[in-house]
Amino acid sequence: MSLTPAPGPDGHARCPWCLATAQYVDYHDREWGFPVADDRRLFEKLCLEAFQSGLSWRTILEKREGFRAAFAGFDFHRMAGWGEPEVLRLLGDAAIVRHRGKIEAVIHNAARAVELQREAGSLAAFIWRFEEPAAAPEVRATSPGSVALAKALKQRGWKFVGPTTAYAFMQSMGLVNDHAPGCVTRDAVEQARAAFVRP
C-alpha cells in the first residue's frame, strides 16, 4: 500500500487506498483514524475486521448496514446469549458474509466482551492501553501494539483477533494515525487524537 497521497474527486490529496469508490472516500474522511471510545462501536469494528479476514474491506463496508441489522446493532450484552438458532438464522442472511466459523466467533466474542467490560470497566479502557505512540506512518500489517492487543485478547478467549486484524482495527479506531503525510484528513485526525480524553 502506497503512502503517497493522490488527488480525490474534489482535488484534495488523500490516502490512495480510499479512492476506489465514493463510499470509501466518505469512510476515509469521516471515520478512519478518528478516535473512538464507545464500547459498542469498538466491538462492532473488531467483529467486522474478523469478517474481513481473507476479503476486502470494501466488501464488508458495503454490507455494514446488513451486519448491523443482523447482529442487533452489535449489542454484545444481547448477543452473548445467542446460540445455534441465531447461527442458523445468520447463515441464511444474504445481507452479511455467511461464514459459520466467523459467525460463531463473533457470538463467542460477545460473551468475552461482557467479561472484559467487567474486568476493565469498559472495552475502551482496556483497548486504549495499546495505543501506538506518535510516529511517521509506514507500510506495515502489524505493530508492537497490535501484537500485544491480539495476545491479550486471545489470552481472554477471543477468536479471530490476530495481530493483522488488531492492527487494522487500531488504524480505523484512532489508536494510531496512519493517514499519509499530505492527506487532507491527517491533520484533522491528529487534532481529534490530541483532544481525545483517553478512557
| Cα angle value 34/170/189 (rounded, 5°) | 20
Q: Which of 17, 57, 132, 190 is the catalytic position?
A: 57
Q: Is 49 one of the annotated active-site residues of the chain?
A: yes
Q: Which of 17, 27, 31, 86 is the catalytic position?
A: 27
Q: Name the residue with cell 487524537.
A: 193
| Cα angle value 42/46/47 (rounded, 5°) | 115
Q: Is 115 one of the annotated active-site residues of the chain?
A: no
Q: Which of 44, 49, 104, 131 is the catalytic position?
A: 49
Q: Is 82 one of the annotated active-site residues of the chain?
A: no
Q: Is 138 exposed, middle or buried (0-12, 13-18, 19+ CB in 10 A)?
A: exposed
- 91 three-class SS: helix
Distance CA 103, CA 100 (A): 5
Q: What is the set of active-site residues?
A: 27, 49, 57
